[in-house]
Amino acid sequence: MRRKKRRLKKSVRVTFALMSALFILVSTIWVMDIGEAKSNEGQERVEKVMAKETGEQQTANKQTDEAKEKAAEESEEGPEDEPIDSVTVDEPDQQGESTVDQSGVEESSEDKQAQEEQALQESVYLTFDDGPNENTEDILNVLERFDAKATFFMLEPNMRRFADSVKDMAAEGHAVGMHGVTHDATKFYQSSQSVVGEMKKGQETLESITGIHSNLIRVPYGSVPNMTPAYRSAVDQAGFHMWDWNIDSEDWRLLSEEYVPNVMNQINAFPYENSPKIILLHEKDVTLENLEELLIDLTEKGYSMKAITQQMDPVTF
């Protein structure tokens, strides 16, 4: 009886052991199948993504190649297909552009001319003859207080004597020119060579003092009546720009403050439209004494005092 029980127990244990082993084996196989299935599924997903990207890239490459081929075909066919259009369409446009540009040029030229005329109406040009001398520095000081520029037509011996004043003129932005050497009509107007010779000597002296090569000149006593056509031609050929004046202060005659209203009266009745107002002055004591009054009157009238430039058209008698 005991042996039967032991055998039964042993049989049960063996059966349980076999069942456990079988269960473990089945479980292991099941887990491995699941892992493999997941691995296969992941691999399939990767392969699908790669296939999709590859397909998209191939499509993009194909589209790019097709676009390039189409552009190449259009480029090759364009000149042959559109020669008539390019002529019939572009030619009128070019004409239109030319018309617009020409109109712009004309308008710009008219605007520039209007501005120049306006500047002439609002400006005066003070010119001083016969210097430099003992009054020059004081004249420069008065001009500086009013921010006024002037033009100095100087005699060659005086330039050498008052070289520092000549340097100051140039440094302060005034225009500098020549008035000859002798200021003696019998000597200066002896011939065309004497006229040009005196101006060239003054030009050389001025350049040696200031470094400025000026072509501005004013002949003694003005160009009428001594500057004959032959003299004028000689001056032009030498490259000089001869200036006279159209407002005479008469400070050389009045010798008093009366020259100031004389100037203002001539300005108010100025008859030369579109011509710069060129005022004749001298570096005299009376000129200096009343120069401030003249500049006050000019400023109150709205005028600016400017220097003659070598680009301006000269005023002559």
Partners of residue 152 on adjacent β-strands? 128, 176
Tell me which residue of 121, 123, 288, 314 sits closest to 222, measured CA to CA.
314
Catalytic residue among 81, 129, 244, 285: 129
CA distances (Å), origin 137, targets 117, 140, 143, 284, 303: 33, 5, 10, 12, 23
Compute the distance between CA of residue 178 and CA of residue 154 in angstroms, rounded to an integer.
Answer: 5
> What are phi and psi for residue 224, nearest 5 degrees?
-110, 130
> Is the Cβ–Cβ distance between 122 and 133 less than 8 Å?
no
Provide DSSP, 126-194: EEEES--STTHHHHHHHHHHTT--EEEEE-HHHHHHTHHHHHHHHHTT-EEEE--SS--HHHHTT-HHH
Catalytic residue among 179, 183, 282, 297: 282
Asked if omega into 220 is within 30° of 0 (cis), the reply is no
Mark whether 147 is an active-site residue.
no
Mark whether 241 is an active-site residue.
no
Compute the distance between CA of residue 245 and CA of residue 278 in angstroms, rounded to an integer.
Answer: 5
> Is the Cβ–Cβ distance between 151 and 277 less than 8 Å?
no
Partners of residue 125 on adjacent β-strands? 278
Gyration radius from the chain CA atoms: 51
Compute the distance between CA of residue 173 and CA of residue 148 in angstroms, rounded to an integer.
Answer: 10
Compute the distance between CA of residue 289 and CA of residue 283 in angstroms, rounded to an integer.
Answer: 10
Catalytic residues: 129, 282
